[in-house]
Amino acid sequence: MFDSSGGAGTLTRGAKGTDMGTISERTAHLGTENAFVVLAEVEKLTAQGRDVVSFCIGQPDFVTPDNIREAAIKAIREGRTGYTPSAGIPKLREAAAHEIGRLRGLDVSPAEVVVAAGAKPFIGYSILSVTDHGQGHEVIYPNPGFPIYDSQIEAMGAVPVPLYLQEAHDFAFDPGELRDKINENTRLVILNSPHNPTGGTLRGDVLNEIASVLAEHEHVWIYADEIYSRLVYDGEFESIASYDGLRERTIIVDGASKTWAMTGWRIGYAANKALAPYFTSWVTNTESCAPHPSQYAALEALSGPQDEPDRMKKVFHRRRDLIVRLLGDVPGFECRMPGGAFYAWPNVTEACRMVGADDSEHFRLRLLNEAGVAVLADIHFGHRRPGGGQHIRFSYATSDDAIEKGVERITGFIKKNTR
């Protein structure tokens, strides 16, 4: 059963001698994605009649474009509702290979591409493919970062090694720290750019230094989580896979969810020549294949008109500028300009002090219950960097009106409660 008193939900293992079976340690301690936990808190309050402005879910607030939905309907009407090859339908793999290559300046073969039910499964598939359970194999991952990284590393029996991002460097990490953390037990390094939760991007000199470090360690695989690759606002997207000598060891992961507002369609894809057969085996062993009609929808997304995703990107760009400007005027807030995705990650250390909040999580709870604004706290994305201050995450995948209303409420809350 689940104990709701813990907020995130605590699973109680069955005791020996009862009629309830025991739960494995890995399952009992499996992490979660706290955006959905906070969403449940929001829904509970709204069911009570409370008006809540929510910035907690990272998904586009747009409807999937018409041409994509029509392609799925056509596929259903034509009876394309059964199993497909585990790696995905050939036309989709071909289209994904073209898109991956086009965006990164690479020649990618469809044989390298595997399709899954979203990009998220490839986190687990990659860890399973390059580490052995209980052998001390290490996986380096960004912190703060997408919480499923840490969760899956632990669940798969590898050792999580956090690599702290630095606010002073626009939430990139120090390549020297990466060099210090890699050792003979390191099997995988996870890079996420554009980044969730900070919106930071790895580019230019920093990415070049990271590539130089990784070039020194040929035994290390690289997981390039690039699901926000089409949502870079300043300059061009850059990928670690484009660097000489790294492509063969880089698992390029992208998908339809963010670019085409297709989170619920569950289509992601990964490209790596050596690992593609193993990913295909993992898909066969777990999901069998990605949803058949969704694959045809994704095929249309990749090969059809790009007017709608281009329009959505322009809207996100405008919202980014709006929310950063507004947050910059909130007492006790400092907000750097994110380079991509649709997240803002303000430092609220001073705001916490002003209102007497113990930390960002206490501050988040007060914003929700007293101001009617839902955000996520930094502890939902990993351990705080020592001395790094307090942060909260805003998803600006919401309307301009909601952004203005929510920030206005936060400003009023701070002014009212400043000691």
Do 344 and 324 contact (CB within 8 A), yes or no?
Answer: yes
pLDDT digits (tens, 9 = 90+) for 68-77: 999 999 999 9
Mean pLDDT value across the chain: 93
- Give yes or no: residues 138 and 217 share one domain: yes
- Angle, helices 121-130/276-285, rounded to nearest 10 degrees: 120
Distance CA 238, CA 242 (A): 8
Is the pLDDT at 319 greater than 50? The verdict is: yes
pLDDT digits (tens, 9 = 90+) for 288-308: 999 999 999 999 999 999 999
- Give the amino acid at 126: S
Distance CA 54, CA 394 (A): 9
Distance CA 182, CA 377 (A): 29
DSSP class of 65 = P
- Give yes or no: residues 118 and 184 share one domain: yes
Beta strand 221-225 with 250-255 is: parallel
pLDDT digits (tens, 9 = 90+) for 332-343: 999 999 999 999
- Give yes or no: residues 243 and 315 share one domain: no
Do 321 and 338 contact (CB within 8 A), yes or no?
Answer: no
Residue 2 lies in a domain: no
Residue 21 lies in a domain: no
DSSP H or E segment with residue 301: helix 292-303
Q: Which of 75, 106, 62, 107 is nearest to 298 (CA)?
A: 75
Which one of 268, 303, 338 terminates a domain?
303
pLDDT grade for 396, boundaries at 50, 70 and 90:
very high
Residue 68 lies in a domain: no
- Give the amino acid at 141: Y
- Quote the percentage of the chain above a pLDDT of 90: 86
Residue 13 lies in a domain: no
Helices (H) and strands (E) in the chain, counts: 14, 14
Distance CA 100, CA 78 (A): 29
> CATH number for the domain including 118?
3.40.640.10
What are the backbone dihedrals phi and psi of residue 195, each rounded to the nearest 5 degrees, phi first? -110, 140
Q: Which two tokens stand for residue 392?
A: 């909260």
Q: What was the pLDDT predicted at 19?
A: 60
- Give yes or no: residues 296 and 315 share one domain: no
Domain that holds residue 156: 80-303
Distance CA 110, CA 90 (A): 8
Q: Which of 45, 154, 418, 122 is nearest to 286 (CA)?
A: 122
Q: Which of 319, 304, 384, 396 is nearest to 144 (CA)?
A: 384
When divided into structural domains, the chain yields a total of 2
Residue 17 lies in a domain: no
